[in-house]
Amino acid sequence: MTEPRALIRLDKWLWHARFFKTRTLAAKVVSGGHVRVNSSKAAKPAHKVGAGDTLTFPQGSQIRIVRIIAPGERRGPAPEAQTLYDDLTPKRDDVPPSPRYDGKGRPTKKERRSLDLNRFGPLE
């Protein structure tokens, strides 16, 4: 016979893997309907997950996609937590929203006028 796979609560695993600072925050995200387990919404923080499951959830300003490798025994240091999952999140190019992000400061008044002219057309 095969051994049953080890399962752990979803909120507890997210906390063990250090995606959230507290287990309460992890539970709020799950109960808010923001976490998907294998492409279906997790309804409760007590939803059981195990190795092989894929999670999709928001973290900060990005959407994280991770595949669980191990359930984890405890909330250890970050290098230990990173062994619990494979990060499948697509890498995004960090393109700054400002054209003058190169450290040159704010645009001059002349540059702002030309930006507005390009954006809105000539004012009448």
- pLDDT averaged over every residue in the chain: 87
pLDDT digits (tens, 9 = 90+) for 99-122: 555 667 787 888 888 878 777 766
Q: Is 80 part of any domain?
A: yes
Burial 55-89 (b: 16+ CB within 10 A, else e): bbbeeeeeebebebeebbeeeeeeeebeebbeeee
Q: What is the domain extent for residue 60? A: 7-93
Question: What kind and span of H or E run contains 43?
Answer: none
The CATH number covering residue 82 comes to 3.10.290.10
Burial of 26 (0-12, 13-18, 19+ CB in 10 A): buried
pLDDT interval class at 94 (50, 70, 90): low
Domain count, the chain: 1
Q: Is 53 part of any domain?
A: yes
